[in-house]
């Protein structure tokens, strides 16, 4: 992805891959994960919609705000916070080459790999 051709759908698709790492870290914490899960669910939904609708880069901030407010008007604070986080990551992908390279490479993470191994082990072990 070059900066001139960077589209919201590309960045948001890569950010969806990066959520795997967040899920791996979240599952290993020993505290109530409900708020984290809610935030990640909201973020995942916004990212999926951005990938599907692929808004124009020039209108991405406006699209995010509209989409966030349309998604869940009753919990607009949480949704707009996640939309802001996505927009900040979108801007970061344009301004920080290391972040863009990490996204381009599929957002690799040791946490994501460990989470994947744990899920595979739990799926292979019989349930009592």
State residue 118's pLDDT score.
Answer: 52
Residue 88: CB atoms within 10 A of its CB come to 10
State residue 2's pLDDT score.
Answer: 44
Q: Which domain holds residue 39?
A: 3-124
User: How does pLDDT run along the chain (128 residues), one tens digit per residue?
Assistant: 444 568 999 999 989 888 876 666 555 556 666 666 788 888 999 999 999 999 999 999 999 989 988 876 666 788 889 999 999 999 998 888 888 888 777 777 765 555 555 555 556 665 54
**Domain count of the chain?**
1
Kindly state the tokens that stand for 34. Answer: 């409900």
Integer Cα distance of 88 and 93 in angstroms: 9
State residue 86's pLDDT score.
Answer: 95
Contact (CB, 8 A) for 29 and 115: no
State residue 127's pLDDT score.
Answer: 55
Give me the residue label for tokens 């994501």. 112
């Amino acid at each position: 992805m070059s900066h001139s051709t960077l589209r919201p759908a590309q960045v948001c698709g890569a950010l969806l891959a990066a959520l795997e790492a967040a899920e791996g870290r979240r599952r290993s914490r020993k505290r109530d994960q409900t708020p984290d899960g809610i935030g990640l669910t909201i973020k995942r939904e916004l990212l999926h919609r951005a990938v599907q609708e692929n808004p124009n880069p020039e209108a991405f901030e406006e699209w995010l705000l509209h989409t966030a407010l349309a998604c869940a008007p009753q919990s607009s604070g949480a949704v707009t916070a996640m939309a802001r986080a996505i927009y900040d990551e979108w801007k970061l992908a344009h301004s920080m080459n290391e972040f863009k390279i990490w996204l381009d490479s599929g957002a690799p993470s040791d946490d994501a790999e460990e989470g994947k191994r744990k899920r595979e082990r739990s799926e292979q072990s019989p349930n009592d």
